Structure formats: structure tokens, C-alpha cells
Amino acid sequence: MANLGNPTNTIEILKKYGFSFQKKFGQNFLIDNNILEKIVENAGVTKDDLVIEIGPGIGTLTQHLCEHAREVVAVEIDKKLIPILEDTLSEYDNVRVINEDILKVDVNKIAEERNGGKNVKVVANLPYYITTPIIMGLFESNLPLESITVMVQKEVAERMQEGPGTKDYGALSLAVQFYSKPKVVLNVPAGCFMPKPNVDSAVIKLEKYEQPPVEVKDSKKMFEIIRAAFNQRRKTLTNSIANSGELNYSKDDVGKALETMGLLSTVRGEALTLEQFAKLSDLLG
């Protein structure tokens, strides 16, 4: 089977099947073998691994994953791509394609059935419009997970590893850093894709913690507080939390908790660390 990591072979397979890109699925296919190899290398894929790939497209990255992994389970939402994947992956006996929306797939069941419940690695070139729900869904599913290595919009990758006091620091940074250690491993220019997106991309590796780096009594409530803090990031934390429809705390409640922590009631959410949000959540009870 032709290697898909170059424009000529990609165009050929798209023409063969009369495939047209679906904007609603955010489809941009990689056409650079060097980048593809680096993704697999940075993901640390070995012959012991079950890899779950999200959005295989025409199978470009999948081919490289099949060469290195024990088994690949590729989840593709677009049914028009299924016959193409059957063709481009026909030489591999260690791949299984599921035509489904990743947000509706029981990933734990896949890990149990195909990997005996041992840790899996997730590798993906993610559609930008749905990056956050997919990553958070994986973390919150309690999937036995070693790492997530994903191609995302460059700005989003940078946001995931930002710390307090920066304009890009927000709810996504805190959520990712609660579950994992994020590291941007590769920058990818727009020209490495077909069709060419309007933005540059980056590959970020999220190594999942066995235990979160902070202790908190109720992580769900902590994230409700974090979301409230950044929904109105120009307001003080006291106002943001008191005005939130999700929560039921008065300005007085929040002010007292902040005072206990040695913080002013005028502080904004972007100034607090993950540890401080955990403390605030515990104090608000």
C-alpha cells in the first residue's frame, strides 16, 4: 500500500474514492512523513502497546502506528472514510477501525477487551473544534491511560501548559495540569496538511499522573469553581463565583474563604494556582 505521508499519494487515494473534505468534521490530513514519524516517536509507541487513535482520516498516521504498536484501535466518525481505511490499511492485521463518535465510545471497554485493562496510549490528529471535549472526556472516563499525544492548534497546546498570571492561563490549563504533565514536543506548520488550515499546529504530550499533583475533596466542584472563575475572567473571583448559575455561594462566603487563604477579595481567578483552587474548593465546602 502506498505511503500516505506525501501529497501525491494522498491526492491519488482521495480521487480514487471521490472524497470531499467535510468542514463539519474539521478534516485536515497530514502530508509529511517526517512529522508522522516524530509523532509516533514522541508518543513512545512500542510493540507492547495498544494505541487508540482518534480520527484516523484516510489512515496516514494509522499506517505509522501499525508499524510500531502491538495493536491500533482507530475511531473514525465519518462513514465515507471507512472504505478508504479498509483499502489503505489492508496490509495490516493489527488494526481495528470503529465507525463511531469518540465521545460516545466506551473506551474503557476497549482497554479491557483488547488490553486486559492495562494502560493504553492515545495518539491523534484532533479536529480543532472538538479538542477540549475529547481530551477532557478521556481524562474523566477513568480510562487506564498512560499518555495522550495529540496534534492540536498551536495556541491551544500553549494554553495547556501555561501557568498563573498569563493571558492564556485558564480552565483548560488547570484541567490538563490536574490530570497530566503537559509538554509541547513538536511545532507543525500549516503547510504540512491538506487542505492547509489557517493556523499552525503543535503536538503536545500529556503524561497522565497516577495521582493528581494536588489533593482536593471534590474535584468536580473544584472544576465548577474554576469554570466560574474564568467565564468572567475580568471580574474578581468573588464576583465570578457569586454570579455563577452553577454554584450557590455568596460574595461573603467567597471573601471569607479567600481571607483564610491570605488572599484579597479583589483577586482574579488567573492569579490562583491549581493548589489554591483546590484549597478554595475545600474551604467553600
pLDDT in tens, 210-245: 999 999 999 999 999 999 999 988 899 999 999 998
CATH assignment of the domain containing 278: 1.10.8.100
- Please measure the distance between the N-terminal and C-terminal CA atoms of the chain and give it in whole angstroms: 59
Sorting pLDDT into bands at 50, 70 and 90, what band is 21? confident
Please tell me which residue, 280 or 126, carries the higher pLDDT value. 280
Asked if residue 248 and residue 187 are part of one domain, the reply reads no
1 lies in some domain: no
Structural domain contains residue 214? no
pLDDT at 106: 95
pLDDT of residue 127: 81
Q: How far is CA 203 from CA 39, 42, 73, 112, 155, in A?
A: 7, 9, 20, 27, 11
CA-nearest of 60, 43, 86 to 5 is 60
> In the predicted model, is pLDDT for residue 199 greater than 80?
yes
Q: Residue 129's pLDDT band (boundaries 50, 70, 90)? A: confident
Of 185, 208, 231, which residue constitutes the final position of a domain? 208
Secondary element (H or E) of residue 71: strand 71-76
Give Cα separations from 21 to 14, 63, 145, 276 (angstroms): 9, 20, 31, 45
Angstrom distance (rounded) from CA 206 to CA 157: 10
Q: Is the pLDDT of residue 2 over 80?
A: no
- CATH code for the domain of 118: 3.40.50.150
Q: How confident is the model at residue 122 (pLDDT cuts 50, 70, 90)?
A: very high
Instruction: Provide the pLDDT confidence category of residue 157 given band limits of 50, 70 and 90.
Output: very high
Q: Is residue 96 classed as helix, strand or coil in its secondary structure?
A: strand
Residue 41 is assigned to a structural domain of this protein: yes
Residues 123 and 238 in one domain: no
Q: What is the mean pLDDT of residues 120-132?
A: 91
Per-residue b or e along 183-203, where b marks 16 or more CB atoms closer than 10 Å to that residue's CB? eebbebeeebbbeeeeebbbb
Average pLDDT across the chain, whole number: 94
Q: Given this model, what pLDDT does residue 213 score?
A: 97
- In the chain, the amino acid numbered 213 is P
Whether 230 and 178 have beta carbons less than 8 Å apart is answered as no
Residue matched to cell numbers 504530550? 205
Residues 252 and 136 in one domain: no
With respect to residue 101, please indicate whether it lies within any of the assigned structural domains: yes
pLDDT of 94-113, one tens digit each? Answer: 999 999 999 999 999 999 99
**Do 31 and 135 share a structural domain?**
yes
- Residues 196, 56 within the same domain: yes
Burial class (CB in 10 A: 0-12, 13-18, 19+), 231: middle
The arithmetic mean of pLDDT across residues 36-64, rounded, is: 97
Residue 1 has pLDDT above 70, yes or no: no
Grid cell for residue 76: 473514525
Domain that holds residue 180: 7-208
Give the Cα separation of 89 and 66 in Å (integer). 9
Question: For residues 160 and 206, is the Cβ–Cβ distance under 8 A?
Answer: yes
Tens-digit pLDDT profile for residues 176-194: 999 999 999 999 999 999 9
Question: How many domains is the chain built from?
Answer: 2
Q: What is the pLDDT of residue 3?
A: 85
pLDDT band for position 28 (50/70/90)? Answer: confident
pLDDT at 145: 97
pTM exceeding the 0.75 threshold for the entire prediction: yes
Q: Residue 214 in 3-state DSSP?
A: coil
